[in-house]
Amino acid sequence: MQKRKLGNSNLEVSAIGLGCMGMSFSYGPPKDKQEMIALLRAAVEHGVTFFDTAEVYGPFTNEVLVGKALSPIREQVVIATKFGFNLNPDGSPGWQGLNSRPEHIKEVAEASLKRLEIDAIDLFYQHRVDPDVPIEDVAGAVKDLIQAGKVKHFGLSEAGAQTIRRAHAVQPVTALQSEYSIWWRKPEEEILPTLEELGIGLVPYSPLGKGFLTGKMDENTEFDKTDFRKTLPRFTPEARKANQALVDLLGVIAKPKKATPAQIALAWLLAQKPWIVPIPGTTKLHRMEENIGAATIELSADDLREINSAAAKIEVQGARYPENLEKLTGR
């Protein structure tokens, strides 16, 4: 697979990475561990070198899974994980608030290194901006970890432009992870220009709209009770029915290219900037193969114009998060 560099850094990764969260957390019950280990190793065989996890996914179980699968082939992969929450003391899913105090960041790094079975975290993201801790202190703590050889690169997730600038002034930010796709384009207003100016890469999560842009669901799709999409305004049956127009548009572009809507959604992201690396998640081998196939699809300037002008006429229905989660973003 083609490689891309995240911004001005020397961190080179596959053009499409793999988001690992859904293997353990959030999208219904956890999947079979051995099957997921096989899938992670198959991804490496297919040229994927960039894997995304976090301590909060599980909690902890996703990092353990990724560590077990990838530590034997450590030199071939780049592993990103995240800090920034106070997790429930009983180990149940969820969290009790944000925590990016420097001493906590260092504790999380040590614990993540053990679970991932590695000596250094390739990319360590602040999962959500903590309004109680100056971002300069957060960047300083990660800088200390980088100087100690425990972390290689610093990242932020869902941060606002001013926070990115302030962090970058203390410790260069290699990548920002944020939701970005053809149905969530807010980063284009302020975030993308800021990243371009500072030489920071963008890692879009949910590049397939949490599965919606694959075209494999409609307003009648039923979600498992443990699937967090049940809580999202954008996934009500009414919103799904209204938003189908976007999937239909992707299908129209896909057909002459013998591609799928998901592949066009990913190819569209790759065509936006050379420093964008989406991380679609999946638990199925054939979906992973479909997703990485997007890296070979060329969208012409005419294709992109057609997509953008048609998409501009479609008003996506439903907020992406409930209010309590949305307020954690863009700070």
Is residue 57 among the annotated active site residues? yes
Burial state string for 88-126 with b = 16 or more CB within 10 A and e = fewer than 16: eeeeebebeebbbbbebbbebbeebbebbbbebbbbbbb
From the first residue on, what is the mean pLDDT of each consecutive set of 10 residues in the chain (331 residues)?
A: 96 98 94 98 98 97 98 97 95 94 98 98 98 98 98 98 98 98 97 98 98 95 94 96 96 97 98 98 98 97 96 95 95 96
Task: Classify residue 124: in a domain, yes or no.
Answer: yes
Q: What are phi and psi of 50, to 5 degrees?
A: -120, 115
Structure-token match 């894997």, residue found: 51
**Which pLDDT score is estimated for 231?**
94
**Nearest Cα residue to 154 out of 162, 169, 279:** 169
Q: Which residues, other chains included, contact 53 with Cβ-Cβ below 8 Å and sequence gap of 6+?
A: 20, 21, 62, 63, 66, 79, 80, 81, 82, 116
**Which pLDDT score is estimated for 208?**
98
Task: Classify residue 40: in a domain, yes or no.
Answer: yes
Distance CA 96, CA 115 (A): 22
Distance CA 116, CA 79 (A): 9
**Which pLDDT score is estimated for 72?**
96
Annotated active-site residue in 27, 57, 125, 205: 57
Q: What is the DSSP string of 8-77?
A: TSS-EEESS-EE-GGGTSSBSSPPPHHHHHHHHHHHHHTT--EEE--TTTTTTHHHHHHHHHHGGGGGG-
Domain extent for 107? 3-209+273-297
**Which pLDDT score is estimated for 298?**
94
For the chain, the domain total comes to: 1
Task: Classify residue 307: in a domain, yes or no.
Answer: no
Q: What is the mean pLDDT of the chain?
A: 97
Distance CA 100, CA 130 (A): 6
Task: Classify residue 258: in a domain, yes or no.
Answer: no
Contact 4, 13 (CB under 8 A): yes
Contact 329, 128 (CB under 8 A): yes
**Which pLDDT score is estimated for 193?**
98
Task: Classify residue 45: in a domain, yes or no.
Answer: yes
**Which pLDDT score is estimated for 62?**
98
**Nearest Cα residue to 158 out of 187, 136, 184:** 187
Contact 121, 78 (CB under 8 A): no
Contact 111, 150 (CB under 8 A): no
**Which pLDDT score is estimated for 216?**
94
Task: Classify residue 133: in a domain, yes or no.
Answer: yes
pTM equals 0.97
DSSP, collapsed to helix, strand or coil, labels residue 166 as helix
Which CATH number is 74's domain given? 3.20.20.100
Sign of the Cα pseudo-torsion (207, 210, 213, 216, in order): positive
Beta bridge partners of 184: 181
H helices of the chain, where? Answer: 33-45, 61-70, 102-116, 135-147, 161-170, 191-198, 237-254, 261-272, 285-293, 301-312, 323-326
Task: Classify residue 221: in a domain, yes or no.
Answer: no
Task: Classify residue 330: in a domain, yes or no.
Answer: no
**Which pLDDT score is estimated for 6?**
98
**Which pLDDT score is estimated for 279?**
98
